[in-house]
Amino acid sequence: MPAGTLFIVATPIGNLADLSPRALETLKTVAGICAEDTRHTRQLLSHFGIDRPLLALHEHNEEAMSERIVERISSGDSLALVSDAGTPLVSDPGYRVVRAARAAGLRVSPIPGACAAIAALSVAGLPSDRFAFEGFLPAKSSARRERMGRLASETRTLVFYESSHRIAESLADMRAVFGDDRTAVIARELTKMFETVLDGTLAELHARVEADDNQRKGEFVVMVQGAGDDEEAQLIEGRRLYAKLSEHLPPSTAAKLAAEISGAPRKVLYGQGGAD
Mean pLDDT, residues 240-265 taken together:
83
- Tens of pLDDT, residue by residue over 193-242, are 999 999 999 999 999 999 999 999 999 999 999 987 666 777 777 887 88
- Tens of pLDDT, residue by residue over 109-130, are 999 999 999 999 999 999 999 9
User: What is the spatial order of strands in the sheet that 54-56 belongs to?
Assistant: 54-56, 32-35, 79-82, 5-9, 107-111
Output the CA–CA distances (angstroms, integers) from residue 243 to 140, 177, 254, 271, in the order listed: 21, 13, 8, 12
Mean pLDDT, residues 59-83 taken together:
95
- Tens of pLDDT, residue by residue over 84-106, are 999 999 988 899 999 999 999 99
> Of the ranges 129-143, 175-189, 219-233, which one carries the lowest mean pLDDT score?
219-233
Residue 171 in this model has a pLDDT that exceeds 50: yes
pLDDT at 130: 93
State the Cα–Cα distance between residues 85 and 12, nearest whole angstrom.
Answer: 6
Q: Is 136 left (phi over 0), alpha (psi -120 to 50) or beta?
A: beta
State the Cα–Cα distance between residues 10 and 23, nearest whole angstrom.
Answer: 7
Mean pLDDT, residues 68-86 taken together:
97
**Total Cβ atoms within 10 A of residue 177:** 21
Q: Which residue has the higher pLDDT, 80 or 271?
A: 80
Q: Is 210 left (phi over 0), alpha (psi -120 to 50) or beta?
A: alpha
- Confidence band of 276 (pLDDT split at 50, 70, 90): very low
DSSP calls for 193-227: TT-EEEEEEHHHHHHHHHH-GGGGSS-EEEEEPPP
Residue 273 CB partners (closer than 8 Å, separation 6+): 242, 246, 251, 254, 255
CA 219, distance to chain mean position in Å, is: 12
Please give the share of the chain, as a percent, with pLDDT higher than 70: 96
State the Cα–Cα distance between residues 24 and 38, nearest whole angstrom.
Answer: 17
| CB 221 within 8 Å of CB 120 | yes
pLDDT at 229: 61
State the Cα–Cα distance between residues 147 and 158, nearest whole angstrom.
Answer: 12
Residue 16 CB partners (closer than 8 Å, separation 6+): 44, 47, 48
State the Cα–Cα distance between residues 169 and 174, nearest whole angstrom.
Answer: 9
State the Cα–Cα distance between residues 269 and 62, nearest whole angstrom.
Answer: 47
State the Cα–Cα distance between residues 188 and 105, nearest whole angstrom.
Answer: 40
Residue 23 in this model has a pLDDT that exceeds 60: yes
DSSP state of 55: E
